[in-house]
Amino acid sequence: MFLTEEKIKELTKKANDIRQSIIEMLVEAGSGHTAGPLGMADIFTLFYFHVLKHNPSDPAWEERDRLVLSNGHICPVLYATMAHAGYFPLEELKTLRKFGTRLQGHPHREYLPYVETSSGPLGLGLSQAIGMALADRMDKKDRDRFIYCFMSDGELDEGNSWEAVMLAGKNKLRNLIAIVDRNNIQIEGFTEDVMPLEPLHSKWKSFNWHVIEVSGHDFRMLNEVIEEAQTIYEKPTVIIAHTIPGKEVKEFERDYHWHGKPPSKKEAEMALKELRTLGGKIKSEHQ
């Protein structure tokens, strides 16, 4: 899983492409979430283009890792990343939230069988991932693959999230790795104003989880902590990934108002111009 400099350059460019697709999808749909998808683009890029054991040409491959998206409202980044990885055509991204589309406003497994679970109500994804991890233990496959659960920090306001955290810790699910998007915002404001989560590290640790904190925008550091998580055999691991909501579009960054709204046509043009300029710099720096 070692990351070469060349691979980091490739991932940086791919994350920029994915961010552009996210903006294009959202402005076409006229609804959806902006800040979270942009903030998680680096993490999704690293997973789908370096970490995950998966096969876009055979999505139902039995030996694949499982990736459960608990905070389904950030699905534009999931869809964009999967399309760029080859699961379905890039052109289909423009159908986001349209009538009859496979790309619903929250992932729907019956419509898009490439996703592991349907999601909508927050706080349920970790329980679903725990079920998968327990099933793998029963089938003696818990050494063969990993179950990853992507979560938002805001959904940790949900009591059922902590029931799941407690259950996983009790069962010492070694192949379960949770990634919390610690972007500090939710739809009504900043997390520490709405319902304070700190000390978040200590809370997870008290439930018998191995806890790691990392920047969600540093590919090398992210890769290293994922490798560390994969070596922990006596308990589940949570990676608290500190991200910037709206990452790479200055007008959107760290502004909770962008949690649940799409850009207008004018705002999208501004965002795409900024991202394309950045993409040009990335390309010239890496030639």
DSSP letters of 273-286?
A: HHHHHHHHHHHHHT
Residue 258 has pLDDT above 80, yes or no: yes
DSSP state of 119: -
List the strands of the sheet with 147-152, edge to edge: 66-69, 147-152, 176-182, 237-242, 210-215
Residue 187 to residue 176: CA distance in whole angstroms: 28
Angle of helix 5-29 versus helix 35-46 axis, rounded to 10:
150
> Residue 284: what pLDDT?
78
Lowest mean pLDDT among 23-32, 72-81, 111-120, 124-133: 111-120
* Strands 237-242 and 210-215, sheet pairing: parallel
Residue 56 has pLDDT above 80, yes or no: yes
Residue 252 to residue 109: CA distance in whole angstroms: 30
CA angle 60/66/70 to nearest 5° reads 120
| Spatial contact of 79 and 73, defined as CB atoms under 8 Å apart | no
| Spatial contact of 175 and 168, defined as CB atoms under 8 Å apart | no
Residue 255 to residue 272: CA distance in whole angstroms: 18
* Confidence tier at 143 by pLDDT (50, 70, 90): confident
The amino acid present at 77, given as its one-letter code, is: V
pLDDT per residue over 168-210, tens digit each?
999 999 999 999 999 999 999 999 999 999 999 999 999 999 9
Q: Which two tokens mark 143?
A: 């050494």
Q: Which two tokens mark 51?
A: 């970490």
Residue 250 to residue 244: CA distance in whole angstroms: 10
* Confidence tier at 250 by pLDDT (50, 70, 90): very high
Architecture of the domain delimited by 5-285:
3-Layer(aba) Sandwich (3.40)
pTM over 0.95: yes
pLDDT per residue over 115-124, tens digit each?
999 998 899 9
All structural domains of the chain with their residue ranges: 5-285
Between 280 and 11, name the one with better pLDDT: 11
> Residue 287: what pLDDT?
62
| Spatial contact of 239 and 41, defined as CB atoms under 8 Å apart | no
Residue 59 to residue 126: CA distance in whole angstroms: 22
> Residue 120: what pLDDT?
84
> Residue 286: what pLDDT?
66
